[in-house]
Each structure stands twice: as structure tokens, then as C-alpha cells.
Amino acid sequence: MKKKISKATLERMPYYYSALKKIEDDSTGNRPVFLGEKIISSNELSEKLGFSPEQVRKDIAELGQFGVKGAGYRFDMLRRVIEKVLGLQYRWYVAIFGAGRLGSVLAYGDDFQRLGFTVTALFDVDENLIGKKINDVKVYNFADLNSVAKRKLIDIGVLTVPEDSAQIVADSLIQSGIKGIWNFTATKLTVPQDVAVVNENLSMSLINISCRLAGSN
Amino acid sequence: MKKKISKATLERMPYYYSALKKIEDDSTGNRPVFLGEKIISSNELSEKLGFSPEQVRKDIAELGQFGVKGAGYRFDMLRRVIEKVLGLQYRWYVAIFGAGRLGSVLAYGDDFQRLGFTVTALFDVDENLIGKKINDVKVYNFADLNSVAKRKLIDIGVLTVPEDSAQIVADSLIQSGIKGIWNFTATKLTVPQDVAVVNENLSMSLINISCRLAGSN
């Protein structure tokens, strides 16, 4: 994408994608040509998204021209552009580090699969887990990371390891060529600039609620 | 809290709390009086947090006066004020709605327990799950929500239910008196103003990574 989309708009894009995807899924059974011809209005999108129609029109204007005068947007073009903005035109291969409770649950993520993320490997150091399968995905020995990462074309690593080993594991997976990290540990990772880290700190979310219930926010 | 703390500072507070808590936990075995006397410098906090010393001094200045001239801050006072800002001086009782894979994992959250959040109930509609125990927490019939919520003093409800039933479950738990909702479904909930909702949309995090790997962000 050469065109610059504002950060705020970009952050709303996954919601657009999810709404369009849902409309698409709900119309399963219709002829494919249906979605190709479908026009979706800003009001319809606004209703599905909970954003104002003005917001929707402004957001979509940033993406390009999909308008059909007085009617709405071309569904298929809009969907394809948003998909591209979000990097969802590709299939992404995901490895989960730590095959414990949380790692196992993530290996079952049907939603991830539907969006184009495929879990192709789990890694652990626990000999009782290595070799097992979780939702048909094999648990590999962490020591074999380099060879497995290449064979399985892993793009994204999910960290569900103990806090103390998070940085070490991150260093190893970056060295093996993985460029994206989804970090479920509370450790603040230090990574090179070309590595994308998204932190998922569940405790912080819970504190966010208590904070608001206690009336600070 | 009467004093107004800026939103940006407030959002950093959980990290301060977590850092102070860690220092406290690491000093287990020392006489309690030790932490009462402990002075922590902005440089020390900066290093643990990854924020600049200037940022740390600015943030803490918003909370009040804990400084010991030329040395740092009184550890125990700082910890207690941040605890209060975050609502962590209370013990919070949590119920998990949906005793499936994700709900079960959350019932095992040791970190939550350590912060003062206690899971006291799980709810489900599946008769195969009702009556079972997960990490020693009983799975109740969702139909019994009202009586259980009162008996168990539930403050916060965690939604790990199917997307279609998220709003219905949310309505029920609000009616039973629960004021905080941690929403793991992709449904945008409509709630009264005095109910605090935090959305945890795991798919969005994953999309955030693909978006950055694809170079849009």
C-alpha cells in the first residue's frame, strides 16, 4: 500500500473487514455473482458497525473510490481493498510457543483459521508434551525451532511461555526468521525495528475494568 | 479518587503497579519493614518500565507527593496510591460465562488471583458441564444466575460465550447486578452507562500483526 491511511482509520478497518466478512458468510448459498454485484450503503455499514454514517463515509473515502452514485459502495471491491490494507490477502502461518493451557486454546482458534491464519506448529521444552498433537498440530521440541520454522514457513510466533523466558524465546524466533510476535506474557520485549509485536496483556484488561468500577476512570 | 489523572497517565498505571508488585514479590523473605522504608528512584523505575525517567517523574507527580529529596519515592506510599487508582485495594469477584476451552483457561489465571481477582463461579447451559469443577470453581446453570450472583457477590462477568448469545448473556448479568464485563466475543455490546466493558478481541490483535507485516502500518 503506497497510499497513506490515517492511524485512526486503520484501527477501525478490522471491524469493517469483520462486518463485510459476516455479510459474505451469511450469504453462503447465493450465487457468487451476487456479491460481485452487491452494493452496500454507508447506512447499512453504519448499522452493522455502530459507527456513524458520516464516519463510515469518511473512512471509506480514505481507501479509494468504490461509490455507486446515490446507492453505496461496491461490496466486492471494498472487501478486497480492506483485505489488502490488513494484509489478509495472504495466508499467514503461525507457531505457538508454549503448549500449556493458553497455547492449547489458541491452537483451536477457529476464528483465526477463518481469517487466514493457520497454526502449523507448537513448541515446548516439556518432554511430556513434545510429539503430541493439539487440534492436529504437532508439538515440536523448541530446540528444533530453526529447521521447523523454515519447513513450516512460520510468519508469526505466539508467546505463551513463562515471563522469564519470553525475551530468550523471542530472540530465538526472530533469529529463525519470524517477523511477527503476538506476546501474551507481561514481558516488554526488545526487538529489531522490522519485527511487529502486539502485546496481549490479559491482566491489564482486568485491571482496566477494576479501575473503572472503582471510579478512577 | 477526586483528583483528576490524565487518561494517558492512567493507562500507564497498570505497568507501574506491575513493576512495583514485582519488586515486592522479589523481596519476599525480607522483614516487612524493609519495603516501608524503601525509596525507589525514577531511574530505577524507568529501567524496569522502559519509560524515560522524565516520563516517570511526570506521571508520578500527577499522583501526589511521594518524593524524598534527591533520592526518589517512598515505595509503600506509591504502591498504595497506584493500587487505589486502579481499584486494586478491593478484592473483586469474577464469574466466567461459558465453561468451554477459553473459559476454562481463564479460570486457571494465577496472575488474576495474585492481583486480587477471584473467580468464584462459571456458568454454562451445557448439562454435561453444569455441576463440574474447573480449578476448584463450580460450573453453575446459567438459569440460576440471579441467585448465584448474589450469593457469590460477583462484580465482573467474563464473556466467552458464542457471538450470537453475547448480548443476551450481557443483559442477564447486568440485570443480576454485575457492573463490569470482560468481553471476549466479537459482539459490540450495548450496555447502560454505569457498566464498564472491556473488549478483548483476539482476532483483531492477530490482524494487527498481519497488517504490520504486510506493510500498511
pLDDT, one tens digit per residue, over A54-81 is 999 999 999 887 777 778 898 888 999 9
Within a domain: A209 = no
Distance CA B217, CA B212 (A): 5
Q: What are phi and psi of B122, to 5 degrees?
A: -115, 150
Distance CA B41, CA B69 (A): 10
Contacts of B89 in chain A (CB under 8 A): 214
Contacts of A206 in chain B (CB under 8 A): 94, 112, 115, 117, 156, 182, 198
Domain-terminating residue out of A85, A104, A127: A85
Q: Determine the distance in angstroms separating the CA of A102 from the nearest CA of chain B, rounded to an integer.
A: 6
Strand order in the sheet with A39-40: A39-40, A72-74, A67-68
Which of B87, B95, B98, B88 has the alpha carbon at shortest distance from B181?
B95
**Domain span including residue B23:** 7-85
> Looking up cell 454485484, which residue turns up?
A37
B63 shares its domain with B147:
no
- Interface membership of A217 toward B (CB under 8 Å): yes
B126 shares its domain with B198:
yes
B59 shares its domain with B158:
no
Output the CA torsion A177→A180→A183→A187 (10° steps).
60
Q: Determine the distance in angstroms separating the CA of A178 from the nearest CA of chain B, rounded to an integer.
A: 10
Of B17, B196, B201, the CB nearest to A209: B196
B109 shares its domain with B140:
yes
A72-74 and A92-97: which strand pairing? unpaired
* Range among A14-23, A183-192, B168-177 rated most confident: B168-177
Q: Do A209 and B203 touch (CB under 8 A)?
A: no
Surface of A (114-153) touching B: CB under 8 A: 115-117
Distance CA B191, CA B146 (A): 18
B41 shares its domain with B117:
no
Q: Do A85 and B1 touch (CB under 8 A)?
A: no
Contacts of A101 in chain B (CB under 8 A): 104-105, 108
Within a domain: A214 = no
Contact B52, B46 (CB under 8 A): yes
Within a domain: A1 = no
Q: pLDDT tens digits, residue range B121-150? A: 999 999 999 999 999 999 999 999 999 998
What was the pLDDT predicted at B48? 87
Amino acid at A75: F
Split into its structural domains, chain A has a count of 2
Within a domain: A131 = yes
What was the pLDDT predicted at B29? 56
What was the pLDDT predicted at B36? 65
B120 shares its domain with B34:
no
B104 shares its domain with B194:
yes
* Range among A76-90, B11-25, B67-81, B162-176 rated most confident: B162-176
* CA B36 from centre of chain: 26
The helix/strand/coil state of B123 is strand
Copy the grid coordinates of residue B143: 438459569
Out of B26-30, B139-143, B172-176, least confident range: B26-30
Within a domain: A188 = yes
What was the pLDDT predicted at B1? 44
Within a domain: A211 = no
Residue B165 is classified by DSSP as G
Amino acid at A25: D
Task: Please give the ipTM for the structure prediction.
Answer: 0.84
Q: Distance of CA A33 to CAs A29, A30, A41, Å?
A: 11, 8, 18
- Interface membership of B100 toward A (CB under 8 Å): no
Angle value at C-alpha B111, between B106 and B115, nearest 5 degrees: 115
Distance CA A97, CA A142 (A): 8
- Asked whether residue B180 carries a pLDDT value surpassing 50, the answer given is yes
**A4-7: long-range contacts (C-beta < 8 A, 24 or more apart)?**
A5/A62, A5/A63, A5/A85, A5/B216, A6/A62, A7/B217
CATH number at residue A30: 1.10.10.10
A75 shares its domain with A140:
no
Q: Mean pLDDT score of chain A, rounded to an integer? A: 89
Within a domain: B215 = no
Q: Determine the distance in angstroms separating the CA of B213 from the nearest CA of chain A, rounded to an integer.
A: 7
Contacts of B196 in chain A (CB under 8 A): 209, 212-213
A181 shares its domain with A199:
yes
What residues does B73 pair with on adjacent strands?
B40, B67
Contacts of B111 in chain A (CB under 8 A): 186, 202-203
- Asked whether residue A83 carries a pLDDT value surpassing 70, the answer given is yes
Of A50, A104, A216, the CB nearest to B10: A216
B111 shares its domain with B81:
no
Copy the grid coordinates of residue A178: 519470524
Contacts of A100 in chain B (CB under 8 A): none
A98 shares its domain with A190:
yes
Nearest CA in chain A to B101: A105
Distance CA B153, CA B141 (A): 17
Domain-terminating residue out of A20, A53, A85: A85
Domain-terminating residue out of A51, A85, A119: A85
CB atoms < 10 A from the CB of B145, how many?
22
Instruction: Tell me which H or E stretch contains A58.
Output: helix A53-63
Interface test with B, best of A10, A81, A167, A206 (most B CBs within 10 A): A206
CATH number at residue B182: 3.40.50.720
Copy the grid coordinates of residue A136: 492436529
Within a domain: A216 = no
Nearest CA in chain B to A47: B188
**Which of the four pLDDT bands, split at 50, 70 and 90, describes residue B100?**
very high
> Looking up cell 452493522, which residue turns up?
A48
Instruction: Tell me which H or E stretch contains A16.
Output: helix A7-26
Total CB pairs under 8 A between chain A and B: 173
Q: Over the range B187-201, which residues count as b (16 or more CB within 10 Å of their CB) and which as e?
A: bbbebeeebbbbbbb
A169 shares its domain with A97:
yes
